Amino acid sequence: MVQMTLNGLRVEVEEGMTILEAARFYGINIPTLCYHEGLSPYGACRLCLVEIGPSGQSKLVSSCTHRVEEGLVVRTHSERVVKRRKMLIELYLATCPQSRVIQDLASKYHVTRVRFTPRYEDCILCGLCVRMCAEQMQGKAIGFAHRGSNRKVATPFDVKSEECRLCGGCMYICPACQSRCQGPQEEEPLCNACLNLDQPCLNYFDDNMCFMDPCVACELGAGREAKAKSRDGRL
Partner 1 sequence: MEATSRLAVPEDLAGLRERLKDRLDEKKPRLVVCGDTGCTVRGSRELAAAIEKILSEQGLSDRVELKVTGCLGFCEKGPLMLVFPGAILYQKVQPSDAGEIVEKTVLKNELVERLLYTDPESGLPVACAYDIPFYKLQNRALLETCWYINPLDIYDYIARGGYAALAKVLGGMTPEAVIAEMKEARLRGRGGAGFATGLKWEFCRSSPGEEKYILCNADEGDPGAFMDRSLLEGNPHAVLEGMIIAAYAVGAKEGVIYIRIEYPTAVLKLEEAVRQARELGLLGKDIFGSGFDFDVIISKGAGAFVCGEETALIRGAEGKVGEPRQKPPFPADVGFRGKPTVINNVETFVNVPLVINQGAALYHSTGTESSGGTKIFCLVGKVKNTGLVEVPFGTTLRQIIFGIGGGIKGGKKFKAVQTGGPSGGCLPEAMLDLKVDFSDLAQAGSIMGSGGMIVMDEDTCVVDVARYFLQFLKSESCGKCFSCRVGIDRLLEILDRIIAGNGSVEDLALLEELAVTVKDTTMCGLGQTSANPVLSTLRYFRDEYLAHVRDKRCPAGVCRSLFRYRIDEDLCAGCGACAEQCPAGAIKETDEGCYRIDHGLCTVCGACAETCALDAITKD
Contact set with partner 1 (CB under 8 A): 33, 43-46, 49, 60-62, 65-67, 80, 84, 87-88, 91-92, 94-95, 115-117, 124-127, 144, 146-151
> In whole angstroms, how close is the CB of 143 to partner 1 at the nearest point?
9
SS3 192: coil
Q: How far is the CB of 214 from partner 1 (least distance, A)?
A: 25
Q: Whose Cβ is closer to partner 1: residue 66's or residue 108's? A: 66
Cβ nearer to partner 1, comparing 23 with 88:
88
Show the DSSP H helices in the chain as ranges. Answer: 19-25, 79-95, 100-108, 128-131, 169-173, 217-220, 223-232
Nearer CB in complex with partner 1: 68/217? 68
- Least distance to partner 1 from the beta carbon of 29, Å? 19
Nearer to partner 1, 142 or 217 (CB): 142
Q: Give the β-pairing of 73-75 and 2-6.
A: parallel
Closest CB 82 distance from partner 1, rounded Å: 12
Residue from 75, 70, 33 nearest 61 by CA: 75
Find the length of the chain: 235
Give the residue with the Cβ less far from partner 1, 46 or 224: 46
Angstrom CA distances, 33 to 11, 46, 206, stand at 26, 8, 24
104: nearest Cα among 115, 92, 116: 92
User: What minimum distance in Å lies between the beta carbon of 215 and partner 1?
Assistant: 24
